[in-house]
Amino acid sequence: RKEVEQDPGPFNVPEGATVAFNCTYSNSASQSFFWYRQDCRKEPKLLMSVYSSGNEDGRFTAQLNRASQYISLLIRDSKLSDSATYLCVVYGGGFKTIFGAGTRLFVKA
């Protein structure tokens, strides 16, 4: 079993749609959680941290469920510029940051 698993997609949605991604992780001792965004042939960039209480940044909402060991990302009112790969990232301590393979999102006009 992979340490961090994501649905690879692709998710094809029209502009203005709401789309949600989930991610599961295997190490129950994991300490912190993030979503990164990666454009084609570019480096990953931090989108947001994920907390148990949930956190929101504009159109983006992230949630952590420690009991079920999953993380979610909700994007509301999708824009063309949201098209990218979204990487679920888990930090387990000891300098080990584990990336999921990513979920690809295409937003169409």
In the complex, the residues that contact another protein under the rule CB under 8 A are: 4, 8, 31-32, 34, 41-46, 49, 87, 91, 93, 95-102
The least CB distance from residue 21 to another protein, in Å, is 15
User: Which residue, 32 or 72, is less far from another protein as judged by CB?
Assistant: 32
User: Which residue, 46 or 77, is less far from another protein as judged by CB?
Assistant: 46
User: Which residue, 26 or 76, is less far from another protein as judged by CB?
Assistant: 26
Q: Which residues contact 36 (CB under 8 A, 6 or more apart)?
A: 44, 45, 46, 47, 86, 87, 89, 99
Q: Which residues contact 48 (CB under 8 A, 6 or more apart)?
A: 34, 35, 55, 57, 60, 62
